[in-house]
Amino acid sequence: MPSRYELALEALDRRGRLRALSGCGGLDFTSNDYLGLADSAELKDAIAQALARGVPVGAGGSRLLRGNHPEHEALEAEAAAFFGAESALYFGSGFSANAALISTLPQRGDLLMYDELVHASTREGLAGARATHHAFAHNDTGEIEHALRAFRADNAQARCFIAVESLYSMDGDLAPLADIAALATRYDAMLLIDEAHATGVLGPQGRGLSATLEGAPNVITLHTCGKALGVSGGLLLMPDLLRRFMINRCKPFIYATAPSPLIASAVRVALRLCAGADDRRAALQARIAQLAGHLAKLGLPSTGTSIQPIILGGDRRATSMADALASEGFDVRAIRPPTVPEGSARLRITLSSSLRASDVDALGVALARHLQDIAA
């Protein structure tokens, strides 16, 4: 008799949702390496130099034991200065940083509101959250204000938290951060901004869409290090009081082995590269505009960002088209529920400054051909 695990996998397969690991191949239109730094000579050289000066690969323990290395502290100081916040706290991944923030900071009696399209890491944090929490319609500032006003009417002292992304990972659209920040200030709420896909790409020097908000006492931002920065880890930028609270109360920080000091040293270099990467950002914008031109010919809207979804609806329709593109040398992946809402399976195209104009043109031609085949 099949086990419940076998039955679950068979059910996924019948729905076209069974996942498996696959290697890298073809032109990269699927990773989040937006500035092309992950395989760069600069970061490889940074690792070599760090090893030469004796930076260890592993930390050997949690940061509250013996795992706190000068590279961690140097990275946090440099990140706080670069992004314009009072302090920073480094985690081994952006996912763990975001989940840890959500599960630790809001307390019982508080209200945590989150956009319905936020990352899975936010939802993971909600599983351990003490606060009352509920989703609001995507980018709906009216709903946010209504909920804040109603909560404040009966809870003058409790804390409110609003969790959003600046650049949404599956839809490629932007949050109305200025409007949401104004509401957070008006109703004395904390604003939690996940900058995962905007870090390195948007804002002055790639400091994200929250660059003008950083350092405010009611703003916390997450900047991941494994996407445009090309390394790994996640940085929470926050007031120093809240950093000290996290160090004392955040279980994923207290009990986890500290991130690699070697990787922390590489992130320090990545931040410096990011600050001077206007040429890479310009190249990325050129590729974005180029793909937008191809989509316009197909009657499809462009997000104007480095993330471009093409909604196909059915799960197998999306996977079939991804397979067809892969057979022609394009690495474009299909994204299916539950990662995205039911009926909105899609191709998720991402762009990088390392792509050539001819690469984007070739993809545009292939998309036109395969979308025409699907419509026929």
Tell me: the pLDDT tens digits for 229-265?
Answer: 999 999 999 999 999 999 999 999 999 999 999 999 9
Active site residue 68: no
Active site residue 169: yes
Written as six digits, the tokens of 365 are 């031609």
What is the predicted pLDDT for the residue at 16?
82
- Mean pLDDT across the stretch 67-91? 98
The 10 Å CB-count burial string (b at 16+, else e) for 310-332 is bebeebebbbbbbebbbeeebbb
What is the predicted pLDDT for the residue at 374?
66
Q: What is the pLDDT of residues 277-330, one digit of tens each?
A: 999 999 999 999 999 999 999 999 999 999 999 999 999 999 999 999 999 999
Q: What is the pLDDT of residues 2-46, one digit of tens each?
A: 899 999 999 998 888 888 888 888 999 999 999 999 999 999 999
Question: Could you tell me what percent of the chain has a pLDDT over 90?
Answer: 88
- Mean pLDDT across the stretch 118-139? 91
- Mean pLDDT across the stretch 172-178? 97
- Contact between 185 and 218 (Cβ < 8 Å): yes
69, 72, 119, 223: the catalytic one is 119
15-35+277-375 classified as CATH 3.40.50.300: no
- Between CA 177 and CA 165 the distance in angstroms is 9
Active site residue 354: no
71, 110, 171, 194: the catalytic one is 194
Residue 73 CB partners (closer than 8 Å, separation 6+) = none
- Between CA 346 and CA 348 the distance in angstroms is 6
Give the N- to C-terminal CA distance of the chain in Å, as an integer.
43
What is the predicted pLDDT for the residue at 142?
97
What is the predicted pLDDT for the residue at 291?
97
| Domain residue ranges of the chain, discontinuous segments joined by + | 15-35+277-375, 41-275
User: What mean pLDDT, rounded, does the chain reach?
Assistant: 95
- Between CA 79 and CA 102 the distance in angstroms is 21
What is the predicted pLDDT for the residue at 264?
98
Active site residue 32: yes
133, 223, 227, 370: the catalytic one is 227
Q: What is the pLDDT of residues 339-352, one digit of tens each?
A: 999 999 999 999 99
Comparing CA positions, the residue from 224, 223, 264, 274 lying closest to residue 40 is 274
- Mean pLDDT across the stretch 50-64? 97
Fold of the CATH domain 41-275: Aspartate Aminotransferase; domain 2 (3.40.640)
Report the sign of the C-alpha dihedral through residues 102, 254, 89, 105, in that order: positive
Active site residue 33: no
Active site residue 119: yes
Active site residue 28: no
What is the predicted pLDDT for the residue at 15?
85
